[in-house]
Amino acid sequence: MNLTEAFDIKKHDIVAFVGSGGKTTAMYTLAEELMENGSVLVTTTTKIGIPKNQSELKMYYPMDKIAEIDNKRFRLIVTGGREEKNKITSITDEDFKAVYKKFDYILIESDGSKMLPYKAWREFEPVIREETTKTIGIIPINGILEKIGRDRIFNDELFVENFGFKDILTMDVLLNILKSKSGIFKGAKGKKYLYFNHCTTENDVLKAKMIIDELSKLDLDIEYVYGSTLKGYNLYKK
């Protein structure tokens, strides 16, 4: 199963990615799948790195070139706002509305985590556009039900305050991340998916299955996916 199948992506979906632990990699992997069946726009409501690998089918357009976007020639286009220290800032409402209907699929990085595996969300994040049809939350499996250092958590003080974290990422902490008004699905639009990423060993897979079995007993209105983007579509859905 690939990411397109796991998240049931259809033409004209506008997909927001939130969370931590492989969010950007999953978004670009999905984009490369989708470009086989249509044109794809990748952008951000926060910040995203300027893509390094461009080709005949992939192209980065800075903000001042948005009017020149050629989605007939290039199947995967990345755009946003200003360039700051090798990153692209958020696309403006005006620019988004001017270009998004030209594409078959829209993928939006709606969250940042400073490359750390876990995070708490500040008052102004995540930033999810009203047009979003699916929200994909990503959490790495390694660390759940284990002791983790606060150096692995972005906004660690908020993580303690909002989710009841002490030193172990317990099921109660995970539930708070999922259910809290300040959690991973704050402001989510459309269908919600939770992707337990980094399941690279048999024990990781067993842990993910057990956690999803417990979560599935609750009425959370979430679909669950587990596996590893980096392992090459070693994905499962429950």
The pLDDT of 58-82, averaged and rounded, is 78
From residue 24, give the alpha-carbon distance in Å to each of 29, 40, 79, 89, 137: 8, 15, 14, 15, 12
Residues 111 and 56 in one domain: no
Residues 55 and 118 in one domain: no
Residues 76 and 116 in one domain: no
| Ramachandran class of 145: left when φ > 0, alpha when ψ lies in -120 to 50, beta otherwise | left
- What's the pLDDT band for 132 if we cut at 50, 70, 90? very high
User: What is the pLDDT at residue 85?
Assistant: 82
* Token pair of 2 as six digits: 């690939």
Q: Where is pLDDT greater, at 113 or 36?
A: 36
Of 103, 129, 148, the residue at which a domain comes to its end is 103
Residues 141 and 47 in one domain: no
Does the pLDDT at position 8 exceed 60? Answer: yes
d(CA 178, CA 122): 15
Compute the mean pLDDT over every residue in the chain, rounded to the nearest whole number: 91
- What's the pLDDT band for 217 if we cut at 50, 70, 90? very high
Residue 226: inside a domain? yes
Residue 112: inside a domain? yes
Residues 225 and 197 in one domain: yes
d(CA 76, CA 56): 10
* Token pair of 213 as six digits: 């079995």
Counted domains in the chain: 2
Helix-helix angle 202-215:171-179, to 10 degrees? 60
Per mean pLDDT, which range of 13-17, 97-101, 182-186, 189-193 is the poorest? 97-101
Does the pLDDT at position 44 exceed 80? Answer: yes
The pLDDT of 142-151, averaged and rounded, is 96
Residues 91 and 123 in one domain: no
Residues 142 and 216 in one domain: yes
- 234-237/223-228 β-pairing: antiparallel
Residues 99 and 51 in one domain: yes
Does the pLDDT at position 56 exceed 60? Answer: no
Residues 135 and 193 in one domain: yes
Give me the domain span that covers residue 167: 3-22+106-237
User: What is the pLDDT at residue 114?
Assistant: 84
d(CA 158, CA 30): 31
User: What is the pLDDT at residue 167?
Assistant: 95
